[in-house]
């Protein structure tokens, strides 16, 4: 697991993230999400749509900020993180695209705040999968879907430019 500060809202606590592969209980997790199971305290993101940790940090930062000012667009801090990854304002579509599905086998668990040791325990207890480092992310990403969802110009080919395009699209969704 990795933890990062949220500079914009320091009192929200850190963002904790853990990357899992070979996940076996996605159908169960999906069911619990649909039942709005309160014992699920972290967000679960489809890892093949994540270019870089920064992308998640920006989504989490925005969620923490909007939570701070009571301006969440979705029901919870967890769903807000997932919603913020999407460039569109369509909540259902955003959660469907960037959240997990029954077929998910690799995911990233994201939580804002809390004690890192407890968070890590909770995540590994809940997700039945293999915890891996974020450097594994590269092999997971589905560049075709990333291009489609973020409408990335075909002329943009370098990873750092793709990432900036994605962050720009995420940032602009409330000012379009």
Partner 1 sequence: MIPDVQLIKQGAEARVYLGPFCQRQAIIKERFAKAYRHPTLDKKLTSRRVIQEARCLYRCQKALIDTPTVYLVDLDQSVIYMEYIPGISVRDYLVTEPGQEAEAQHRVAVAIGKALGAMHNIDVIHGDLTTSNLLMRETSGAVVLIDFGLSYVSQLIEDKAVDLYVLERAFVSTHPNTEVMFAQILEAYGESSKASKQILKKLEDVRLRGRKRSMLG
User: Which positions lie near partner 1, rule CB under 8 A?
Assistant: 4, 7-8, 10, 53-54, 57-58, 61-62, 65, 69, 153, 155-156, 164-165, 167-168, 171-172, 174-176
Determine the Cα–Cα distance for residues 28 and 103; give it in Å rounded to an integer.
11
Q: Shortest CA distance to 42 belongs to which of 103, 101, 118?
A: 118
Q: What is the phi-psi region of residue 151: left when phi exceeds 0, alpha when psi lies from -120 to 50, beta otherwise?
A: left
CB of 57 to partner 1, least distance (A): 4
CB of 37 to partner 1, least distance (A): 29
Determine the Cα–Cα distance for residues 118 and 61; give it in Å rounded to an integer.
21
DSSP strand E in 12-168: where? 15-21, 43-46, 107-112, 130-132
Q: How far is CA 175 from the centre of its chain?
A: 21
11 vs 34 by CB, closer to partner 1: 11
61 vs 106 by CB, closer to partner 1: 61
19 vs 127 by CB, closer to partner 1: 19
23 vs 150 by CB, closer to partner 1: 150
CB of 50 to partner 1, least distance (A): 14
CB of 165 to partner 1, least distance (A): 7
Cβ pair 43, 111 in contact under 8 A:
yes
């Amino acid at each position: 697991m990795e933890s990062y500060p949220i500079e914009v809202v320091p009192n929200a606590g850190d963002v904790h993230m853990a990357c899992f592969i070979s996940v076996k209980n996605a159908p169960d997790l999906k069911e619990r999400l649909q039942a709005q199971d309160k014992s699920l305290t972290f967000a679960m993101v489809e890892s093949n749509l994540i270019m870089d940790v920064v992308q998640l940090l920006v989504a989490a930062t925005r969620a923490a900020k909007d939570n701070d000012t009571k301006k969440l667009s979705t029901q919870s801090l967890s769903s807000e993180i997932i919603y913020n990854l999407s460039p569109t304002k369509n909540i259902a579509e955003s959660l469907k695209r960037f959240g997990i599905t029954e077929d998910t086998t690799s995911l990233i668990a994201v939580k804002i705040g809390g004690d890192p040791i407890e968070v890590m325990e909770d995540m590994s207890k809940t997700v039945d999968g293999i915890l891996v480092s974020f450097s594994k992310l590269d092999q997971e990403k589905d560049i075709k879907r990333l291009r489609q969802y973020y409408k990335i110009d075909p002329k943009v080919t370098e990873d750092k430019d793709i990432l900036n395009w994605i962050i720009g699209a995420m940032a602009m969704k409330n000012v379009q």
